[in-house]
Amino acid sequence: MSPLGINLGVLAQPLGVDPSWFISIWNTSNTSAGSSASNQVKLPLTSAGTYNFDVDWGDGNTDTITSWNQAEVTHTYAVAGTYTIICKPNAPGHLRGFRFAQSGDRLKFLDVIQFGGLQLVNNQGQTFFGCAYFTGASITDVLDTVGVTSMSRMFQGCNSYNAAVNFDTSSVTTMFNMFRVANTFNQPINFNTSSVITMAQMFQQASNFNQPLNFNTSSVISISNMFVSATNFNQNISTWDINQVTSFENLMVGVTLSTANYDALLISWANQLPFSPSARTINFGNSKYTSTNQTVVDARDALIAHFTTAFVDGGPA
């Protein structure tokens, strides 16, 4: 049995389950402003999507969906409760477009057993934005993100989510707000970030996150507010290439790096000076440096000389 009280044994096994099926779990009773009624589910399809799939609503009823806004996208149950919904694409690419964007039935969406043939519209982002009860605990495969360029707000507000994120990110250019307020999330991240331009607010208020981030940041322009209030975050990011960064504002407000991690960052980032002339404000939170290490002191002084508008840290250790 799952934590939701649903027997997932048969569905989670390959036998009898088509790998193209998108299988998810919903609770109709979790209504919110703008949602369907307490005995309904409305699939979060988008006008930019492509659809031709059969949906098994989990109560013995089925529909065929070919348009994002046809009436059958909303299903009414005889009894309110928790249901397993299976979307079965009739051809590859015919279940493309799924996006809550802090609206609709975001609180009714509880979990995924299999992403299957579900695909995202490449440049939309906000896939699970606002799905506060989405745990990811039952996921058995990996979401197809080939070609996706935006993961903006992908898990923002997913307060219960703490599952693996082994996505193909080779085409992604924006991770803006990706895990903002995902305050349970603390999973390893091994993203290909070679094309990413903005990581602004990526982990803002993701208070439990503390994992190594070996990111390729050679194309990144903004890391502003990236860890604002990520109170547990304490990793060595000294290897980041920040030559293209123009916005560092409020980078680590509320964060305390270890002195060793902060010292390494100061030395490495000072060695990359000068940055863009528009990058004049930075905040390292409560992080303290080794004042008896002249190399560290010189590096910090060089950074202070560059960040003329504001340079904030916790002072000497």
Burial 152-191 (b: 16+ CB within 10 A, else e): bbbbbbbbbbbbebebebebbbbbbbbbbbbbbbbeebeb
101 is written with which tokens?
């964007």
Position 291, amino acid: S
Give the separation between CA 21 and CA 55, rounded to whole angstroms. 10
pLDDT along the chain (317 residues), means of 10: 38 70 98 98 98 98 98 98 98 97 98 98 97 98 98 98 98 98 97 98 97 98 94 95 97 97 98 94 98 98 97 98
pLDDT at 15: 56
Q: Are 171 and 196 in contact (CB under 8 A)?
A: no
291 is written with which tokens?
């004042």
C-alpha Rg value of the chain to the nearest Å: 22
Q: Which of 144, 212, 216, 154 is nearest to 181 (CA)?
A: 154
User: For the whole model, what pTM was predicted?
Assistant: 0.93
211: Cβ contacts below 8 Å, ≥ 6 apart: 186, 187, 188, 189, 235
Give the separation between CA 264 and CA 296, rounded to whole angstroms. 8
